Amino acid sequence: MGIFMSSAQDIDKMTLRMAIERQLAVYPESTLQDVYKAFYQEHFGPEHMITDTAAVRNYLDYELAHCNDQVGHLYYEPIGVDGNYVRVYLKAVTDGLITADELLQAFIDSAAARQEPAIDWETKWNAIVEVIDQMKLGFGASERDMLREASIKKQAVHHSLQYNAAYKPHYRIVERGIFEMLLKPSIDR
């Protein structure tokens, strides 16, 4: 069972704090927008990104052809608090560990496998902001307001310009069980 139950009172704030600290330790150039994105991805998975599988394939091919500037050594990493989803970096494809077809299929299967979380996104985001306030991280008010509005509308956001410049992220979100069954064995060998 994950840490998110039916209300903000049921959220394990210490585990949430550790996930935020991990995000900021691994990606110190993260803004509040990037924290939002990581937790949003864990909450919603890739479902919001898949409307046309042919377009998804075309964009993956385009991104693979133009991601020569990948930063970092990671092939994958869990996101959010519960780790229900994994970011699988395109580096795993460009380094020949998995194929683009395998990654694409895992990405599409992950959207179909998504289950509705027990807590709604706005409540979860408010709990995240509460922990961030306790941590005194000093994120700006305008960014907070924009993300508050996005959380109410359940909107996805892009990585911040600062994050993109520092890390040049190229990845797909894959559900943990699908990742462990279809991709992890090939990446870890």
For 101, what's the count of Cα atoms within 13 Å in the CB-facing half-sphere? 0
Domain count, the chain: 1
Q: How many angstroms separate the CA atoms of 133 and 47, rounded?
A: 30
Asked whether residue 155 is assigned to any structural domain, the reply reads: yes
The neighbouring-strand residues paired with 89 are 171
Helix (H, G, I), strand (E, B) or coil at 173: strand
Single pTM value for the model: 0.89
Look at residue 114 in the predicted model and tell me its pLDDT: 78
Asked whether residue 70 is assigned to any structural domain, the reply reads: yes
Ramachandran assignment for 63, one of left (phi > 0), alpha (psi -120 to 50 degrees), beta (any other): alpha
Asked whether residue 13 is assigned to any structural domain, the reply reads: no
Asked whether residue 24 is assigned to any structural domain, the reply reads: no
Q: Which domain holds residue 105?
A: 32-188
Asked whether residue 15 is assigned to any structural domain, the reply reads: no
Work out the average pLDDT over 161-165: 95
In whole angstroms, how far apart are CA 26 and each of 20, 21, 106, 151? Answer: 10, 9, 25, 24
Asked whether residue 19 is assigned to any structural domain, the reply reads: no
User: Are 2 and 82 contacting, i.e. CB atoms less than 8 angstroms apart?
Assistant: yes
Neighbours of 131 (CB within 10 A): 19
To which residue do tokens 């959207």 refer? 111
Asked whether residue 97 is assigned to any structural domain, the reply reads: yes
Residues 6+ apart with CB under 8 A from 57: 104
The neighbouring-strand residues paired with 77 are 87
Q: Is the pLDDT of residue 65 over 60?
A: yes
Over the stretch 124-160, which tens digit does the pLDDT of each residue have? 999 999 999 999 998 988 999 999 999 999 999 999 9
Asked whether residue 20 is assigned to any structural domain, the reply reads: no
Handedness of CA 82, 43, 75, 160 (dihedral sign): negative
Confidence at 175, pLDDT banded by 50, 70, 90: very high
Q: Is the pLDDT of residue 33 over 50?
A: yes
Look at residue 9 in the predicted model and tell me its pLDDT: 57
